Amino acid sequence: MMNSLIRPMILTATAAIAALLVFTVALSWFGRWDDERKGLSGAVSDGYCNIAVVPIIGDIVAYDAYYDPSGEGEPYTNTTGDWTTGYIRAAESDPNVFGTLVTIDSYGGQASPAFEIMHALSTSEKPVAAYIRESGTSAAYIVALGSDEIIASPFASVGSIGVTYSYIEETEKNNKEGLRFVQLASGPYKDAGAPYKPLTDGERALFERDIEVYKNVFITIVAERRGMSEAKVAELADGSSWPASLALDQGLVDEVGDMDSVRTWFAGELGLASEQIVFCN
């Protein structure tokens, strides 16, 4: 009688312990995976490479919610501010990492995460270089400004200093389809920029005011980071991009070159031979 009562209790306790162990292991694994996902997993170097490589690819966005760890569906080509700044911090704390290389192939994206990445790079105590491959424009150029040296490929597009709020208005399309926009808003500008109605003069003035403010912030950042006058940068801030050679003439980059140029720059900064510069992949 005693044994028949004790056995279910022992089995239940054993199952509970096993479940707790499984939960603990799973939680530990998820924590490590989440840290790795954010680039916060500690060591960046494998003990052999000594230059951390930070890719800036596709649209620059703010949050890791854009990240798909499953690997399913479309290839992940965006750059998230969360992951990138986390990886930069990890590289900064890794004693085997002597510097950071930002490889850029992006036409821009959200300004705030780009500014955060730029700040993380600019405050690094280790040498930082940016290499613009195909494009380093708009918000991606803001990222490049965080580096000590900007090197651009001969075929790179650089700059595009400016801001856009442009969008597609769908009023005519909706009229043809028999759709009518019903305005219900607490204020005249609450639904400003809604694509389902024409833009009013007041809304346009509001957006143009904001565009001018943000453009001036962009100009100030470029002027400070490139050692240029704001008046000079303002002349360049027409929203156009520049081929690498012309960007060099305008002071937007420091050199037109390739990965060998990048390696040579790091070698000079670190007092090493070029062959001692090993990029972390």
Which residues are CB-neighbours of 141 under 8 A, at least 6 positions away? 108, 158, 159, 160, 161, 222, 252
Residue 25 predicted with pLDDT over 80 = no
Distance CA 242, CA 154 (A): 11
- Phi, psi torsion values for 60, nearest 5 degrees: -90, 120
C-alpha 14/C-alpha 3 separation (Å) is 16
- Report the DSSP beta bridge partners of residue 51: 99, 279
pLDDT exceeds 70 at position 55 = yes
pLDDT on residue 19: 42
Q: Partners of 129 in the beta sheet?
A: 101, 149
- Rounded CA separation 273/271 (Å): 7
Q: What is the pLDDT of residues 156-186, one digit of tens each?
A: 999 999 999 999 999 999 999 999 999 999 9
The pLDDT tens digits of the residues spanning 180-234 come to 999 999 999 999 999 999 999 999 999 999 999 999 999 999 999 999 999 999 9
Give the sign of the dihedral formed by CA 54, CA 58, CA 63, CA 64. Answer: negative
Instruction: Taking residues 132-137, report their average pLDDT.
Output: 97
Indicate whether 139 and 263 sit together in one domain. Answer: yes
CATH classification at residue 156: 3.90.226.10
CB neighbour list of residue 91: distance below 8 Å, 6 or more residues apart: 44, 52, 54, 97, 100, 126
- Residues 57 and 142 occupy one common structural domain: yes
Residues of the domain holding 168: 162-239
Residue 11 host element (H or E) = helix 2-37
Query: Do 153 and 166 fall within a single domain?
Result: no
Give me Rg for the CA atoms of the chain.
Answer: 26
CB atoms < 10 A from the CB of 181, how many? 14
What integer pLDDT is reported at residue 76 of this predicted model? 55
- The pLDDT value recorded for residue 17 is 42
Same domain, 150 and 63: yes
Q: Are residues 201 and 152 in the same domain?
A: no
The structural domain count of the chain equals 3
Q: What is the mean pLDDT of residues 86-100?
A: 95
Q: Give me the pLDDT at residue 65, please.
A: 55
The residue ranking higher by pLDDT, 30 or 201, is 201
**Contact in structure between 80 and 113 (CB atoms under 8 Å):** yes
The pLDDT, as a whole number, for residue 47 is 87
